[in-house]
Structure formats: C-alpha cells, structure tokens
A = this chain, B = another copy of it.
Amino acid sequence: MATGQHNFPPMHPVAGFKLGTTSAGIKTLGRSDVVIMEIAHGSSVAALFTQNAFCAAPVTLCKKHLDQHVPRYLVTNTGNANAGTGAQGIQNALRTCREMALLADVDVSSVLPFSTGVIGEPLPIDTLVAGLPSAFNDLSETGWFDAAQGILTTDTRAKGSSLQYGQDRPITITGIAKGSGMIKPNMATMLAYIATDAKIDNELLHRALRLACDKSFNRITVDSDTSTNDSVVLVATGASGVVIDEDTFESFVGHLTDIFIQLAQAIIRDGEGASKFVSVAIEGALDESEALQVAYTIAESPLVKTALSASDPNWGRILAAIGRAGIDNLDVDQVQILLNDVLIADQGARAPSYTEADGQRAMQPEDITITVRLNRGNHSATVWTTDLTYDYVRINAEYRT
C-alpha cells in the first residue's frame, strides 16, 4: 500500500551530473540494482550520514573518502546493506571503490559507496563489480528516472523532485530518494541524491544541506527505526554559472528545502503498508525541541497508528501520548487537539462542540492532520508519518524470508 497519487515528476537534468543504472543480479533477476552517478570535476559536494552507531561499512568508507577528496563517482547497490558485516564489509566497500576508480581512471578516494537492503549478510561483491561497466556505459544527464528505480528496496514507487527558479539564468535543483521502512532518519535519510547546477562553495553547501535536512528528512518517521545506512548527498556542479553567496543563500535554501520536503514526504507516502499520510503539527510549544518531542511521541505511538489505520477518531490515545511525552509542567487543561479542522479536545477533555460524527468525517480522507495546541509558547513543528496496518506487519514479517 501507499498513499497519494504516484506521479513521478518531469526531471530537469543538471548539467555536470550523470546517472547510469544496470541490473547486476544482486536483487531479483531483471530488477535494476546498481546505480553510478558521475560528478563533473570542480563541483562542490556535501553529505550527511546516519547517527546509528552500527553504521554500515559504506558509510564508514564514505566519511573517510570525503576527508581525502571531492567525490567524482557515487556507486549505489540495493539488495544488500553491507551493514553488520565487520572487517569483510569494509574490504568489500573498498573493492567497489577500487573497481570504479579503475573503470573511470580516477583516485580511489574520489569514489563513494552506498548500499541498501538486508542487514548482516555478506555483500555479493563479485556480482556487484561485474555490473559496474554496464552502469558506467549507461551514464547520462537524463538518467534520473532509471536511477530512482535502481535504488529502491521495499519501496513501491520511484521518488523524485525537480524545480527551476530564477528569471534570466535559472538554477536547477533535482533529486531522488528511496526509503519505505526502517525510517526515522537522524541527520540524514535512507538514501537521497540531490544535484544542482548552482555554483556554491563547500562550506555554504554544507550549511544549506543541514538546514534543508532539518526541515525534511529529519521530520519523518515510519517506524522509529533509524537505519544503519542513511545517507544524503548534495552535489553542486556550478554549471549554471550562477553563484550562491550570503545574499542569495536564503532563497537557494528555500527552494532546496522544497525539494527535500517533497522527497521526504514521498518516502512517507510510500511508507511500508501505509494507508494514511499523517501530519502531526504541534503548536504553542516553549521551544522547537519540545514540539518535536510531542510530535514524535504521537507519530510513533502504535495505538495512535492503529487507530489511524481504522479511520477511528480515538483521540484518547493522542491525549495519552501527549501525556507521556515527558514535557515538564504540562498544564493539561490548556491542551487542544484537532483532527483536520475539527476541534475534538479542549481543556483536557472532549470539546463541548465535538460530535462522534464530526470525528468520523475528519478521519475519512487519506491525508490527516493531527494538530495539538499546547498553548504555552510560540514554537511549532510538524512531523510526517504513516498509520500502522496489517500490511506493515506482513511486509516486515515476510521480508528476508
């Protein structure tokens, strides 16, 4: 299951950024599973990775290589996460980089490896390496859709977003992402690759990446399980010749964040077993971290999520989640809860105006917004999540076996 329309948007190519995809045979025969991305010489590159202590071998190697070299090639395989694989995992990730470097005649440390799939099984490195030439030959600036498909695992849809802004000399921003389960990114997401032809130095690009991530990939949860492999890479080729400086930075980050939010929401719409797309909006908090604390407690409550799957306006479970969120000195009599635009709870109890019929009606749409007004400050935050369905259990009971 998934929510919303499946519209893979038109993707504006980004000059200086090419993508090539192949089916190497790591996953089911015929499904694409290896993607190479080529970054033009002179680009800036910023990346963020999972905070999971058991980070995957490719994540470890990415961090090391980023310290040594501006990346020229990104190599992604699906079907195997190369996580929980110890020293052999590092060797396999390094061999991926070596073979890619040989093929493209670049330095080993200018290759970044990425893996996604099952955790704890050895990477079929020979199969992967055998697929590299075919993906390399496929490199093209119009390869976005194929690449978006090539990085999927339990996802049911390719996820992409693209925009251009600016009058005379427009800037292009285009990106793809994958992710469906084990989704609660922590400073990054499952896998996302975004490229722009803006010219922007490394330090500004890193700032832009952090700002955009904090409002997008760091605001989603399917199942509260932070992955071992989360990675997001932002490439600025500079091919448009338009320079981003302190003056134009805010506008750039705004557009970048739009793309990031669309990709993050696409992950939630394709969340494992999802039948609802749920926005949890907290208002009137003392600070943003408090708002997020309440939002995530609601968004990750199995009882709230199962009620959502049944379109049941069981707001008592939302109230119970707020109550256990660990907020100091919460005055429960000030709390208001809305389902879409229906006020259901006021002053810590059922709103006098509320009727069960109104609640039922509010729960029918596929897109639901749960708004909680704490009424104790001026900060707010929104988190996006899914419901918890039979299908989530089925997918995760069956996956791997």
Contact = CB atoms under 8 A, between A and B. Distances in A.
Interface of A: 51-55, 81, 83-89, 118-122, 181-182, 184, 186, 223-228, 300-303, 306-307, 309-310, 312, 314-317, 319-325, 327, 330, 332-333, 345, 347-350, 388-390, 392-394, 396-401
A323 B52 contact: yes
Which of A51, A182, A347: most chain B Cβ within 10 A? Answer: A182
Given A120-B319, A228-B320, A320-B226, A397 B302 contact: no
Contacts of A396: 302-303, 306-307, 310
A325 B224 CA distance: 11
Contact of A302 (B224, B320, B323, B333): B224
Contacts of A312: 397, 400-401
A84 B228 contact: no
A79 to B, nearest CB: 14
B88 A53 contact: no
Nearest to A86: B349
A223 B394 CA distance: 18
Contact of A392 (B182, B302, B323): B302
A62 to B, nearest CB: 16
Contact of A303 (B52, B87, B223): B223
* Smallest CB-CB A-B distances: 9 pairs: A119-B316, A86-B349, A54-B323, A120-B316, A310-B397, A306-B396, A52-B323, A226-B324, A53-B323
Given A224-B302, A316-B84, A400-B314, A323 B393 contact: no
A173 to B, nearest CB: 30
Contact of A52 (B301, B324, B348, B389): B324
Contacts of A84: 315-316, 319-320, 345, 348-350
B397 A332 contact: no
Contacts of A323: 52-55, 226, 228
A107 to B, nearest CB: 28
A54 B186 CA distance: 29
A397 to B, nearest CB: 4
Contacts of A315: 84, 120
A86 B351 CA distance: 10
Given A120-B350, A225-B303, A310 B54 contact: no
Contact of A310 (B119, B122, B301, B401): B401
21 contacts: A52-B320, A53-B323, A54-B323, A55-B323, A84-B350, A86-B348, A119-B319, A119-B320, A120-B316, A182-B320, A225-B301, A225-B303, A225-B317, A226-B324, A303-B396, A306-B393, A310-B398, A314-B399, A390-B390, A390-B393, A390-B394
A348 B119 CA distance: 12
Given A84-B316, A186-B324, A306-B396, 6 more contacts: A84-B345, A121-B350, A182-B317, A225-B317, A302-B396, A312-B401
B401 A225 contact: no
Contact of A320 (B83, B309, B327): B83
A83 B316 contact: yes
